[in-house]
Structure 1
Amino acid sequence: MIDTLGDFLRNNAYKFPNETAYTFEGEHVTFAKYFERGNRLASALWKRGIRRQDRISIFSQNSLEFMEAYAACELAGYVAATVNWRLAAPEIEWILGNSSPRVLVFEAQYAETVDKIRDQLDFVELFLCVGGTTPSWAEDYHAFRDSGDKEGAPTRPQPDEIMHLIYTSGTTGRPKGAMRTHRAEIAVGILMATELGLIVSDRLQLIMPVFHVGARFLQLAVHMRGGSVVLHRSFNPAEVLDAIERERVTMTHMAPTMVQMMLEQPGIETRDLKSLHTICYSAAPMPVPVLKRGLELLGPVFLQLYGMTEGGGTTLHKRQHKLDGTAEDLKRLGSIGQAAPNVDVKIIDEEGNEMPVGQPGEILTRTETHMAGYWNNSAATLSALREGWYYTGDLGYVDEEGFVYLVDRKKDMIVSGGENIYSREVEEALATHSAVSDVAVIGVKDDHWGETVRAITVLRAGKSVSEADLIEHCKTQIASYKKPKSIIFVDELPRLPSGKINKVTLRQMYGATVVKA
């Protein structure tokens, strides 16, 4: 009986003990070995007093150790609370303070960052360092893991207990921890496996960070089917192509900008990529020129998934990517597809009335893949989950055949290079500069990144600051990838009668790729 994610680990170790679960930097780990490592880590944690539903935070780039920490939580019922390694120290400190983990697993390269905020982490009882030199205040991860018993911890999770605590930024600028249960993760894994048509012989290439739900969901899906994962530490287009050829990868997952960079690699026409039958992309529609190039080189391999940390989603299937179809077919390339099986989608207005075909409103979804709520944030939970529906905050409409189109982002989210950036958190970072009086942030279309961040800024009387200096200041407050790529200085910001900044007007005035003087 499969009730929790740990059951899938046991099932694969029993059925496919000698098959490869992971390939990573030349190492091949079988399902039996992966199961044993997860069990040993779970046991070692139990011996140190860690109990079911205690949080285990993971601060790491993609690695086998990251996946082992996931496995320990799956098997013993601990909660995996991930940390985006690209965040700035104040953001990391806030997330750790909110989740209050008893254990922090971190890579040695982040030891300095952890040490800077360690005095504020008095709830962390155990620091486990992966690789490099272990600081005096931490323990070596591998030695700690190997001290556990291969039989694992004497506890198992329940289906409705929390498996993941994954943080996603909200409109207030403060991250929100989405609580995802074992039951929801099984549902999303089944959804993904169904939509992608996964089979036991598939070899999935994972490049996107596994602290995000996109890569994590796909990993769960392929392992639920008994397939294999080719894991990358980070994105390098040349290495991606090398791995597809060498490992006979059948499926990969990228943001559209990554696909573009891969297709621009010199000599790609001579590569043997025949094993690849699916490129799953997300975060934004695929630009038509990129799609055309990809279809010419690789054939009908593209599939788009739309979802979020809180739950999925819609699918634009491979057979719906038609460059030589009707005008309607071409238009649908800009959609996010149709509702996946067991997912309901509807569009409503501000009063909750369902909108007719073609009329925009807020997108709502209803599915078993939904989160259970936001950690320590009942107000946000009550706002997002109502009567079984999740209020996405995205604005869109549906056509006659149920294709969903995004028209705006109610939450002012900017998608740049596959990363979600919320304008409010960038605005708050800029506002900490002593020269800034008022600021608003918008997304600007970009052929390479999808969107880039632009700030429209009002300076205080008598104050001055350069564009470059203000951008550098922003980097001290938030992750570098969130910083503005351009800043426009104005005398005042347009406002609505309510006093709110009129971002529609701002986009009309300053949303062009090139701003003319």
Structure 2
Amino acid sequence: MSPEPVETLAATAVGREAAPRGGVARSSRRVMNLSHVLRQAARRFPNEIGFVDGARTVTWGEMEARVDAMAAELAHRGVGKGDRILVQSKNCLEMFESMFAAFRIGAVWVPTNFRQTPGEVAYLASASGAALMICHADFPEHVPAVLAEAPTVTAVIAIGAADFGPDYADLVAARLGEKAKVADVEHDDPCWFFFTSGTTGRPKAAVLTHGQMAFVITNHLCDLMPGTTQADASLVVAPLSHGAGVHQLVQVARAVKTVLLPSEKFDPAEAWRLVEQWRVTNMFTVPTITKLLAEHPSVNTYDHSSLRYVIYAGAPMYREDQKRALKALGKVLVQYFGLGEVTGNITVLPPALHDPEDGPSVKLGTCGFERTGIQVQIQNDMGEEVQPFETGEICVCGPAVFAGYYDNPEANAKAFRDGWFRTGDLGHMDSEGFVYITGRASDMYISGGSNVYPREVEEKVLTHPAVAEVAILGVPDPMWGEVGVAVCVLREGASLAEDELIAFLDGKVARYKMPRRVHFWDALPKSAYGKITKKMVREALAERGLLEMPPATRSA
């Protein structure tokens, strides 16, 4: 349907050889079509609940039939292997099913974050060359924007009753009982365009493939949730378009029921109620959501003893927040470090290594050790491996690394060096192989000729009992080049003055690392995924006219 089908990117994007060495001829690398994990669950547990959305429950057998029906409808419309399907939807059954329907016919799933504006979604449609759009009825303004900017989109399907296209439910009902032909796929055939968040520019489409994602599923089950079975249940507390979608795909591979929150607005009390009701055993979060869950009064109202794995990723968790969460939830925290380009597979810190108390055996600040089958290397600017404890860029290789950015050779050239994917994160590795993230390379600033890594100072700020959240950025200064500015959110009922916090930090960090200004806000800006991003904090500072240092601080 799409005029320009996606080509295999593995060889061209990252310089891999198209043919194997050693004289062994191989015409293809046939792999399982990822939609087969749903068929496996339906075969083994057809009458068990696979999906929960409020009062609505769907069995594995019902979901398999519905996905087959939608896949048959898409094929009838001429959508086939390599075509891109853009999906603009909040979390719901139909959105989740659309992933498997796309995979089944060999198409590429292109989910957006539902909070993105019509113009932002239109850009994703154009950049991906989408052939068809599936849009939730709650977002009618996104459809004309997409159709205006992306001429490749020739049809729209609505989730719910809408004027812009036929209802997904009606199309499924009309084809129930039809069996869609499962597309044959090879290892490097694309299945998912995972758009980056665009914190340093316009979003880029990371190409995830059937073979790569099969490894990711296996790796997640091995390293993050060992022992997971169909008796488990998983709560979704983040958009399925990104990391949470990967996590739920993994759940399907073990027939674990997926439980949705009833509203897109995060409600900790409702989350804990569902944990108790469905005996939830795992959930995927980001540090800010984990913090909200652990510190909300409702954590003591509902029974959460069923939880075995509260997995957090997207950013390192500050130590003080870790301690509070461990005391509230027990030793159930699992941290992993991994960008979308490596689909979460870089390091893991399992529950046994999360300790609620500091001590000589606790590795403070680590994001864990290398994931199974993955190699991490800390490199200098020349691409050379540095010594233990020496700071450099965190680079990674292994089967979880994506094929490359779609239609973006310049970005691919920057992202890879000698076969290593460059994460853009700075850090070091100790002699035992534990990795420590210092921060994004773009977060570091230079004050008086010395490098300052804000995360180190942020950890110290959060040891003050009045501070709930903090972000520190480097801003221009005519005398020192750059100086630090801290933006803090205080705990409810707490009070703190700028000079009091500066005095608190005195002796805890070197003077050149001390923030020169401290601002107290009611809240820090967060991305659509609940993460605090320095780009958004900087934009907020600029809007408030706080990027210029007052004369009184410039000679400090």
TM more than 0.5: yes
- With normalisation by structure 1, the TM-score equals 0.79
Structure 2 residue 232 is the aligned partner of structure 1 residue 202: yes
Q: Secondary structure at the match of 1:139?
A: coil
Conserved in 2, the CA contact under 8 Å of 1:358 and 1:397?
A: yes
Q: Distance in 1 between matches of 2:165 and 2:384?
A: 55
Cα distance change, pair 322–207 in 1 and its aligned pair in 2 (3 A): same
> Aligned-pair distance for 1:128?
1.1
RMSD: 3.3
Pick from 335, 342, 345 the counterpart of residue 376 of structure 2.
345
Q: Distance in 1 between matches of 2:182 and 2:384?
A: 47
Conserved in 1, the CA contact under 8 Å of 2:295 and 2:325?
A: no
Q: Distance in 1 between matches of 2:137 and 2:330?
A: 42
User: Please, which runs of 5 or more residues in structure 1 have no aligned partner?
Assistant: 416-420, 424-439, 450-467, 494-508, 511-516
Which region of structure 1 is more displaced relative to structure 2, 63-72 or 194-203? 194-203
The 5 A counterparts of 1:189-228 are 189-195=217-223, 196-200=225-229, 201-212=231-242, 214-228=243-257
Aligned match of 1:431: none
Which region of structure 1 is more displaced relative to structure 2, 393-402 or 261-270? 261-270
User: Please, which runs of 5 or more residues in structure 2 have no aligned partner?
Assistant: 1-29, 445-453, 456-470, 474-481, 492-520
Please list the CA deviations of residues 97-122 of structure 1 after superposition, one character each: whole Å capped at 9, or x if unmatched: 11121111111111023224532232
Amino acid at match of 2:158: C
Cα distance change, pair 442–32 in 1 and its aligned pair in 2 (3 A): farther
> Aligned-pair distance for 1:280?
0.7
Aligned match of 1:181: 209
Which region of structure 1 is more displaced relative to structure 2, 39-48 or 194-203? 194-203
Q: Secondary structure at the match of 2:157?
A: strand
Amino acid at match of 1:174: R
> Aligned-pair distance for 1:255?
1.6
> Aligned-pair distance for 1:247?
0.6
The 5 A counterparts of 1:51-200 are 51-131=80-160, 133-135=161-163, 137-148=164-175, 150-159=177-186, 160-169=188-197, 173-195=201-223, 196-200=225-229
Pick from 47, 50, 72 the counterpart of residue 43 of structure 1.
72
Give the number of equivalent residue pairs: 446
Conserved in 2, the CA contact under 8 Å of 1:393 and 1:409?
A: yes
Conserved in 2, the CA contact under 8 Å of 1:316 and 1:336?
A: yes
Q: Distance in 2 between matches of 1:4 and 1:187?
A: 13
> Aligned-pair distance for 1:443?
8.8
Q: Distance in 1 between matches of 2:386 and 2:220?
A: 28
Q: Distance in 2 between matches of 1:139 and 1:446?
A: 48
Aligned match of 2:350: 317
- With normalisation by structure 2, the TM-score equals 0.74
Aligned match of 1:284: 315
Q: Distance in 1 between matches of 2:278 and 2:364?
A: 31
> Aligned-pair distance for 1:281?
0.8
Q: Distance in 1 between matches of 2:55 and 2:486?
A: 40
Cα distance change, pair 206–444 in 1 and its aligned pair in 2 (3 A): farther
Conserved in 2, the CA contact under 8 Å of 1:74 and 1:157?
A: no
4+ residue segments displaced more than 6 Å: 440-443, 490-493
Amino acid at match of 1:67: F
The 5 A counterparts of 1:99-498 are 99-131=128-160, 133-135=161-163, 137-148=164-175, 150-159=177-186, 160-169=188-197, 173-195=201-223, 196-200=225-229, 201-212=231-242, 214-232=243-261, 233-234=263-264, 235-311=266-342, 312-327=345-360, 329=362, 332-412=363-443, 446=488, 482=536, 484-487=539-542, 489=545
Q: Secondary structure at the match of 1:362?
A: strand
Amino acid at match of 1:255: V
Q: Secondary structure at the match of 2:437?
A: strand
Amino acid at match of 1:261: L
Q: Distance in 1 between matches of 2:270 and 2:360?
A: 37
> Aligned-pair distance for 1:446?
4.7
Cα distance change, pair 216–405 in 1 and its aligned pair in 2 (3 A): same
Conserved in 2, the CA contact under 8 Å of 1:128 and 1:138?
A: yes
